[in-house]
Structure 1
Amino acid sequence: MAEKYNASNIALEQILNFIKSGEIAIPEIQRPFVWKPRQVRDLIDSLYTGYPTGYFIISQSPNMKLKDGTLSEGKKIMIDGQQRVTALMTAIMGMEVINANFEKKRIKIAFNPLANPENEEEIFKVQDNAILRDKRWIADIAEVFKPTFDLWQFVNEYCTVNTEIRGSELNKILMQLMDIKNRQIGVITLNRELTIDEVTEIFIRINSQGAKLNQADFAMSKIAANTNYGGNVLRKAIDYFSHLAIQPDWYGDMCKDVEFIATPFANKLKWLKDDREDIFDPDYNDILRIAFMYKFNRAKMKDLVSLLGGRDFETREYKEDIAEVSFQKLTEGVMDFMNEYAFSNFVLTIKSAGFISNKLINSQMTLDFAYTLYLLLHADPNIDNSKIKHYVAKWYVMTTLTSRYITSPESVMDTDIRRIKERGFVAYFEEVEAANLSETFWSVGLVQNLETSAINSPYFNTYLAAQIYNGDNALFTNGGKVSDLITVIGDVHHIFPKKYLIRNGWTDKSKYNQIANYTYLDTQVNKAVSDDAPYIYFSKAFEQCETKQLIYGNITDLDVLHKNLKQNCIPENIVEMWNTDYDIFLNKRRKLMAHKIKEYYYNL
């Protein structure tokens, strides 16, 4: 069996020179440096004292055929060890790093030749004003590592102001410090013939901390390492969008990156500073996946990695023109993803279907495909634009109800995209709908799916979306919408009160917490109900319509109450139900909920 990687030891100075020359790319070098200065200090101290600092893992891109027919050596990308190398570049080579505020700064590490570790004195410290005033400290070790550093002159000058140390002793200490650059670092270079799945598996197995590197991470590394086709800027745009989607107020910090602000991407992101919507806050995985599916009609992220590397799937060669076209298409896809009109209208589409809160979103993959579909349909001249929101909403609800993108999502998405392209969306949609939403699904399958205690179940969330879509009132209220309780002050409560059930022997948590026993209820109404049996408090609600004396909520009209019960899928004979009727209640309510979801779906 062929070796999957080559392990070797390389002098630290050589590794840094490889990076400085560009022979090894570090994709993270243009991103904010997340290590704290103290971590940089600790790394230098470990190197000085001879402690191990872990492996660096390098992935090799295959050789690529250039446009003139010649071969170009595949680029090497560091996929693990990026933060450590960046720390060394700033501390030893004097390189500036980008901090969290997108300001270029040095992290300067100071060295004290007179420190006595036995007395717990620190040999290294992060430079501060006190160190600059203390003649014992070498304020910045990067000065010692410069090619122009004059060791003899420095020893004489230092010993003149620090008479307690002899020149020969200082010379020995400084030589030990300078020997850091000769420290042997373990480097694992992965075979360039490995598939993306194999590279991912090796990374997970080797990485001592078990950090999971997914295929989107590889794609982002490949993007950032490619400066020929603007990958470094594209990488920033993707990162910045996902950051702004969650923290719009961060826009001011982003503007400090003057190089990025001068790019076309900056205007594409500007609208996010005023965006407070949290239905869809995509991370880099989502942005990459959607842009890729939309522009390439593929869904497997390993294919994106290969295409960005220039792979020709037919000849299995790597060609520069394929890489160039792939970067261009991906950039276009990301640009379209970021379009304010498209993004905002997609979110509006999801909300108009009743999914008004991120609490109702079960699957990010399902949402990702829905936005991909939105972009695809807008680009399809055969689709009536006035029906796009209708199609996207129905597809989203259908795929949520059937958990279409939960198991092997990439494979299913890949199939869907290819068949939409081959058959046209409308024909394929009708085919999928007929196959998955039969009468048996509505009357049996969905009823069975509603037999669960998972509060974040896609079926319960779709039921709530149906209530929101229909403008239903919460139980026992006239004018108090379910939508208001979900987004503002409400919470789900038990129709058969939990304490009442437990008191009567229903002690199984998965039983009394069935979603068919849940409804959104005003807090004051819930307090008034307390732990009364359903036949008691529902009877009082009916009596309230005669006495006009408010006990629960504000309904005093019998017709309004019947309508309210129907809106909340409460069986009419609830006024007769005791704890012994709980199973009967659950079965009846599941059927009512399933029927409501069905009507909602076909009314979308």
Structure 2
Amino acid sequence: MSDMKTCFKRVDYDLSNLLHYLDIGDIGLPDIQRPFVWSNAKVRDLFDSMYRGFPVGYFLFWENAQTNGAKQIGVGDKVHSAPSRLIVDGQQRLTSLYAVFRGKRVLDEDYRERKIEIAFCPRTGAFEVADAAIRRDPEWIPNISELWASGNSSFKMVKGFLKTLTAKVELSEEEEELISHNLDRLFDLQKYPFTALEIAATVDEEQVADIFVRINSEGVKLNQADFILTLLSVFWDAGRAELEQFCRNSRQPPALGSPPSPFNHFIEPDPDQMLRVSVALGFSRGRLKSVYQVLRGKDLDNGEFSADRRDAQFEVLRQAQAKVLDLTCWHQFLSALVGAGYRSGEMISSQNALLYAYAIYLIGRTQCKVPEHQLQKVIGRWFFFASLTGRYTSSPESVMDGDLNRLRGVSDAAQFMAILDELMSSQLTGDFWTTTLPAALNSSSARNPELFAYVAAQNRLNAPVLFSHKKVSDLLDPSLKTKKKALERHHLFPRAWLQGEGQEDLKVINQMANYALLEWPDNIDISDDPPAVYVPQIRPRFSENEWARMHELHALPDSWECMAYDDFLVARRKLMADIVRRGFETLR
């Protein structure tokens, strides 16, 4: 017989009680468990459904067994030092309600503060997102938050609104009664009934994490990182705030004269991504699921919780996060990517590869004391390798776990570099360069990691732009702000010409091997002429050596302009793979 039991109970609330429990800290609603992703229109629809008496879903809470001595989330004094219930599902909905009823601002996806102003028309019972016209119209209450924030009774609120409206609009007795009824109904939304399913405190973290991953609320899927971020909000709110501030600042270039910031041209990280780096650095773990227990102070042998153990583990996380968010480390790491030929986020096919490479950089810098000039090279080479091979594309946590296991306990710079070199050489064999990579280049994907590695290799080899005296690396500078891209991907065998020759398959026409980076004026001039026509016209602009070097670094076979298209593709893929190999080897 199965001994499986229901792990939750049903509890009924009205909205005023939910808000009260949030106010006193009994229910833990982080300032933002993750950025508030609902639009104001969606909040309006929530209030409209509640006003009409429609069901709007349930909440899922988890009873918190570890409350003694824990730091309360949020700001301000709370009656309870730590919440007895954490929110698993319904956070966006509850944030909406709390923000409107308490007049609180929320953070949007770019970590900017946003005020939610929902307007109500008492005559019609309609809800709208407040705009300038509504704010001028006496028929509307432009911000319903003021009804509850004022502390007035419903009688005073109704009386005040009618007095203001009748000063501008003549109302019949029936209209006054309808308006009074609708305002009372709005005011009584405080009594709206909610059902919460509360998971028992005895439920194992991995079970709760499984619930997190399985639940899909309003299309926003919860994941393992969300769960750990919730623990941070409960037990280390300052650390959560530091993560969010770092990510907020990474999205905006600093103003002239302002202090350094994490802004960069590669990635706009989210808190959960930087958290993964901290966990990898602090606990040598790529899988997040095993960290839930560690951060709650659970002994993995006997299953017992300890506040002292929890505090010790959070101290490890604090130290790791301080290194992860250190701006010197962050920018030095990103400079290693530039040194490897990658210039901006447009060349990054895997953010996992970037983030895990950052964790490995920090291990080399802080744990193994690798000299920075050597670390720059080996990390640039590692990122090039990880991106090229799609190392963290399939089962990234498992792969990273394996990589971290190899580095666990290593404190010697030479051993650190030897382990990375061994991992790279075991995959980048002769067969990889001559067979695997040319086959991978047989693709029409615009965001293929092999294509980005090819361009990075061209940067490393100081390749000129095709049919130009400028360098590829110069025109890929992300700081260039132009109306039109300085470089464009150009079909060497133009699409219209190939279609005229009977080739209709776009996957064949748009092969990576049929593209080269050109300055946009040249791209326009070439138009739809076949290479046998336009190449002889361009040839006189260059010396013999310039022409030969340009063809070599753009992987163009001899007399390619006269080759059959299918033969050209096969020959160029092999040459492109060799350019990638040469670029990679310059990083040794």
Give 1:39 deviation, angstroms: 6.0
Whole-Å separation in 2 of the counterparts to 1:510 and 1:154: 66
Q: Is the 8 A contact 1:109 1:140 kept in 2?
A: no
Whole-Å separation in 2 of the counterparts to 1:415 and 1:320: 30
Q: State yes or no: 1:583 paired with 2:566.
A: yes
Aligned counterpart, 1:246: 251
Secondary structure (helix, strand or coil) at the match of 1:248 reads: coil
Q: Is the 8 A contact 1:196 1:215 kept in 2?
A: no
Q: State yes or no: 1:81 paired with 2:71.
A: no
Whole-Å separation in 1 of the counterparts to 2:373 and 2:331: 16
Aligned counterpart, 1:574: 560
Q: Residue 145 and residue 430 in structure 1: after superposition, are their counterparts in 2 closer, same or farther (change >3 A)?
A: same
Secondary structure (helix, strand or coil) at the match of 1:373 reads: helix
Whole-Å separation in 1 of the counterparts to 2:208 and 2:7: 9
Give 1:465 deviation, angstroms: 0.5
Deviation track 1:251-308 (CA, whole Å, cap 9, x = no partner) reads 99xxxxxxxxxxxxxxxx94128x4x31233222221111111121111122333322
Deviation track 1:542-594 (CA, whole Å, cap 9, x = no partner) reads 5x2xxxxxxxxx31x122211211111111132542xxx22222221111111
| Pairs aligned (count) | 552
Secondary structure (helix, strand or coil) at the match of 1:27 reads: coil
Please tell me the residue identity of whatever aligns with 2:559.
N
Secondary structure (helix, strand or coil) at the match of 2:408 reads: helix
Query: Which of 498, 501, 506 is equivalent to 1:501?
Result: 498
Counterparts of 1:495-574 in structure 2 under 5 Å?
495-542=492-539, 544=540, 554-555=541-542, 557-574=543-560
Aligned counterpart, 1:332: 319
Secondary structure (helix, strand or coil) at the match of 1:186 reads: strand
Q: State yes or no: 1:594 paired with 2:577.
A: yes
Aligned counterpart, 1:378: 365
Whole-Å separation in 2 of the counterparts to 1:157 and 1:473: 74
Aligned counterpart, 2:439: 448
Q: Residue 586 and residue 369 in structure 1: after superposition, are their counterparts in 2 closer, same or farther (change >3 A)?
A: same
Q: Residue 534 and residue 198 in structure 1: after superposition, are their counterparts in 2 closer, same or farther (change >3 A)?
A: farther
Instruction: Say which is worse superposed, 520-529 or 413-422, in terms of deviation.
Output: 520-529
Deviation track 1:150-190 (CA, whole Å, cap 9, x = no partner) reads 97x99999999999489999998887666544432021223
Give 1:393 deviation, angstroms: 0.8
Please tell me the residue identity of whatever aligns with 2:18.
I
Q: State yes or no: 1:141 paired with 2:147.
A: yes
Aligned counterpart, 1:426: 417
TM-score between both structures, scaled by the size of structure 2: 0.81
Secondary structure (helix, strand or coil) at the match of 1:28 reads: coil
Q: Is the 8 A contact 1:109 1:139 kept in 2?
A: no
Aligned counterpart, 1:12: 15
Q: Is the 8 A contact 2:34 2:226 kept in 1?
A: no
Aligned counterpart, 1:286: 273
Q: Residue 501 and residue 320 in structure 1: after superposition, are their counterparts in 2 closer, same or farther (change >3 A)?
A: same
Please tell me the residue identity of whatever aligns with 1:481.
K
Which structure 2 segments of 5+ residues have no match?
A: 71-80, 167-171, 478-484
Aligned counterpart, 2:480: none
Secondary structure (helix, strand or coil) at the match of 1:491 reads: strand
Instruction: Say which is worse superposed, 557-566 or 21-30, in terms of deviation.
Output: 21-30
Q: Residue 129 and residue 567 in structure 1: after superposition, are their counterparts in 2 closer, same or farther (change >3 A)?
A: closer
Aligned counterpart, 1:342: 329
Deviation track 1:519-548 (CA, whole Å, cap 9, x = no partner) reads 112233333333333334334445x2xxxx
Give 1:327 deviation, angstroms: 2.5
Q: Residue 194 and residue 505 in structure 1: after superposition, are their counterparts in 2 closer, same or farther (change >3 A)?
A: farther
Please tell me the residue identity of whatever aligns with 2:446.
I
Query: Which of 348, 352, 356 is equivalent to 2:339?
Result: 352
Q: CA RMSD in A?
A: 4.0
Q: Residue 234 and residue 590 in structure 1: after superposition, are their counterparts in 2 closer, same or farther (change >3 A)?
A: same
Q: State yes or no: 1:237 paired with 2:228.
A: no
Whole-Å separation in 2 of the counterparts to 1:355 and 1:154: 61
Whole-Å separation in 1 of the counterparts to 2:430 and 2:129: 71
Q: State yes or no: 1:484 paired with 2:484.
A: no
Please tell me the residue identity of whatever aligns with 1:535.
A
Whole-Å separation in 2 of the counterparts to 1:468 and 1:296: 36
Q: Is the 8 A contact 2:27 2:87 kept in 1?
A: yes
Aligned counterpart, 2:27: 24
Give 1:221 deviation, angstroms: 1.8
Secondary structure (helix, strand or coil) at the match of 1:586 reads: helix
Q: Is the 8 A contact 1:12 1:185 kept in 2?
A: yes
Please tell me the residue identity of whatever aligns with 1:448.
A
Secondary structure (helix, strand or coil) at the match of 1:3 reads: coil
Please tell me the residue identity of whatever aligns with 2:408.
K
Give 1:367 deviation, angstroms: 0.4
Whole-Å separation in 1 of the counterparts to 2:454 and 2:161: 77
Q: Residue 210 and residue 421 in structure 1: after superposition, are their counterparts in 2 closer, same or farther (change >3 A)?
A: same
Aligned counterpart, 1:391: 378
Give 1:404 deviation, angstroms: 0.9
Aligned counterpart, 1:548: none
Secondary structure (helix, strand or coil) at the match of 2:405 reads: helix
Q: Residue 539 and residue 324 in structure 1: after superposition, are their counterparts in 2 closer, same or farther (change >3 A)?
A: same
Give 1:411 deviation, angstroms: 0.7
Deviation track 1:402-441 (CA, whole Å, cap 9, x = no partner) reads 2111100011101101211245422322321231111111
Please tell me the residue identity of whatever aligns with 1:427.
A
Q: Is the 8 A contact 1:490 1:522 kept in 2?
A: yes
Please tell me the residue identity of whatever aligns with 2:547.
L
Query: Which of 185, 197, 206 is equivalent to 2:194?
Result: 185
Whole-Å separation in 1 of the counterparts to 2:160 and 2:561: 96
Counterparts of 1:290-309 in structure 2 under 5 Å?
290-309=277-296
Q: Residue 525 and residue 37 in structure 1: after superposition, are their counterparts in 2 closer, same or farther (change >3 A)?
A: closer
Q: Is the 8 A contact 1:90 1:108 kept in 2?
A: no
Give 1:49 deviation, angstroms: 3.6
Whole-Å separation in 1 of the counterparts to 2:7 and 2:315: 32
Give 1:26 deviation, angstroms: 0.1
Aligned counterpart, 1:459: 450
Whole-Å separation in 1 of the counterparts to 2:454 and 2:26: 56
Q: Is the 8 A contact 1:377 1:383 kept in 2?
A: yes
Deviation track 1:370-394 (CA, whole Å, cap 9, x = no partner) reads 1111111111345334310011011
Seq. identity, %: 28
Q: Residue 138 and residue 398 in structure 1: after superposition, are their counterparts in 2 closer, same or farther (change >3 A)?
A: closer
**Structure (1 or 2) with the greater helix fraction:** 1
Deviation track 1:177-210 (CA, whole Å, cap 9, x = no partner) reads 6654443202122344556665455456554523
Give 1:90 deviation, angstroms: 5.1
Aligned counterpart, 1:551: none
Instruction: Say which is worse superposed, 279-288 or 562-571, in terms of deviation.
Output: 279-288
Q: Residue 73 and residue 6 in structure 1: after superposition, are their counterparts in 2 closer, same or farther (change >3 A)?
A: farther
Q: Is the 8 A contact 2:44 2:127 kept in 1?
A: no
Q: Residue 156 and residue 575 in structure 1: after superposition, are their counterparts in 2 closer, same or farther (change >3 A)?
A: closer
Q: Residue 196 and residue 407 in structure 1: after superposition, are their counterparts in 2 closer, same or farther (change >3 A)?
A: farther
Secondary structure (helix, strand or coil) at the match of 1:301 reads: coil
Secondary structure (helix, strand or coil) at the match of 2:453 reads: helix
Please tell me the residue identity of whatever aligns with 2:194.
I
Larger radius of gyration: 1
Secondary structure (helix, strand or coil) at the match of 1:57 reads: strand
Give 1:464 deviation, angstroms: 0.6
Q: State yes or no: 1:216 paired with 2:225.
A: yes
Q: Residue 6 and residue 270 in structure 1: after superposition, are their counterparts in 2 closer, same or farther (change >3 A)?
A: farther
Which structure 1 segments of 5+ residues have no match?
A: 253-268, 545-553
